[in-house]
Amino acid sequence: MAHITRKEMKEDAFQEAGVSVYDYLSSHFHQILTVILVVVAILLAVVAVRKYSLSRTFADNAELYAAQKQYEDALLVTDATKRKDTLNAAVEACDRLYEDRPSSVAGHEALFVKGNCYSLKRDYTEAFRAYEKFIQESRTDEQKAKAKIAIGDTLCNQAFDSGDKSLLEKAKQAYAEAGKLGMLPNGKGSYLHYQALMGTAQVLTRMGDLAGAKTVYEGIIKDRPFLDEKLTTATLENMSGWEKMSRADKTMLLRKNLIESKMFGSFQKTAEQRLEEVEARMKASAKR
């Protein structure tokens, strides 16, 4: 009897395994092909959806920017008819965007721009309706605070137009709510908190409460030193989660804080100027 070597046994086993695999593939060819085609189709669908989503988001943002630009153009227009037409076009653009994409970020933001347009048109009822809808659909306190400040500003304009001083009390309440929403988890106020305080001080001035306005302005100046030099990576490292954040997230956070620092500086400078005006009025009243 011929002796079969170990090598030959391995080769025979390999050949048998190859035949078995071939037989399996041959008998299940259609099923395997179907699975491969399904997987490929799913991958292509995912890629297509992502591309569509990105292109749609880009288109939404472009529409929102166009509406915002129309609003900003209207601010500079002196002709009443042209301003009205520009604002009407902006409102229509906002309505189209919201109706087409109500759940998108741009669609939601369109409500806020729409409120600004109506406020500039002095159509206060529609402005409040747009702002309130924006608040109802807001996902963050920051969004709600922004709208509350806009409501306060609009109430101040309405009070000026109508002479109804009771609206100033409502404006003060709106600013107070915005100020609370603008508080950060660490107990400090965001730029929206201080923007709301600026609105509160202006309302108090118009209501004749100069002492109250003086106190608010002094608080803004005290809380936020101009161009805070302490805003560095070292201070941010003490923030919760800093060590676990990615480099991109850290960079984004640094940029955000630098932007807010400049805004705080702007608030402080404005507060200093208005404080001087309030103190001058208080001195003038004391001499009478």
Query: Can you spell out the DSSP letters for 123-153?
Result: -HHHHHHHHHHHHHT--SHHHHHHHHHHHHH
Residue 15 has pLDDT above 60, yes or no: no
- For residue 174, which of 192, 201, 139, 147 has the smallest C-alpha distance? 147
Structure token digits, residue 8 = 């030959």
Question: CB–CB of 90/67 below 8 Å?
Answer: yes
Claim to verify: residue 182 and residue 118 sit in the same structural domain: no
| Residue 265 resides in a domain | yes
Mean per-residue pLDDT over the chain, rounded: 78
Mean of the pLDDT values across residues 195-218?
95
Claim to verify: residue 133 and residue 179 sit in the same structural domain: no
**Dihedrals phi, psi of 116, to nearest 5 degrees:** -60, -40
Claim to verify: residue 195 and residue 255 sit in the same structural domain: yes
| Residue 162 resides in a domain | no
For the chain, give the percent of residues with pLDDT over 90. Answer: 44
Claim to verify: residue 286 and residue 219 sit in the same structural domain: yes
Claim to verify: residue 198 and residue 118 sit in the same structural domain: no
Q: Cα–Cα distance between 172 and 135 in angstroms, integer?
A: 18
Mean of the pLDDT values across residues 265-274?
82
Q: Which range, 31-35, 86-90, 242-246, 266-270, is most confident?
A: 86-90
Q: Cα–Cα distance between 204 and 175 in angstroms, integer?
A: 11
Claim to verify: residue 257 and residue 188 sit in the same structural domain: yes
Claim to verify: residue 216 and residue 124 sit in the same structural domain: no
Residue 235 has pLDDT above 60, yes or no: no
Instruction: Determine the pLDDT at residue 221.
Output: 87
Domain range enclosing 230: 171-239+248-288
Question: CB–CB of 90/113 below 8 Å?
Answer: yes
Count of residues for the chain? 288
> Which residues are paired to 183 by β-bridges?
189
| Residue 44 resides in a domain | no
For the chain, give the percent of residues with pLDDT over 70. Answer: 66
Q: How many domains is the chain partitioned into structurally?
A: 2
| Residue 42 resides in a domain | no
First to last CA, the chain: 133
- Say which CATH number the domain at 131 has: 1.25.40
Instruction: Determine the pLDDT at residue 184.
Output: 82
- For residue 200, which of 225, 179, 181 has the smallest C-alpha distance? 179
Mean of the pLDDT values across residues 47-64?
65
Q: Where are the alpha helices (DSSP H) in the chain?
A: 6-27, 29-76, 80-100, 105-120, 124-136, 141-162, 166-181, 191-206, 210-223, 233-236, 247-287
Instruction: Determine the pLDDT at residue 214.
Output: 96
Claim to verify: residue 178 and residue 133 sit in the same structural domain: no
Of 78 and 15, the one with more pLDDT: 78
Instruction: Determine the pLDDT at residue 228.
Output: 41
Claim to verify: residue 177 and residue 288 sit in the same structural domain: yes
Of 17 and 171, the one with more pLDDT: 171
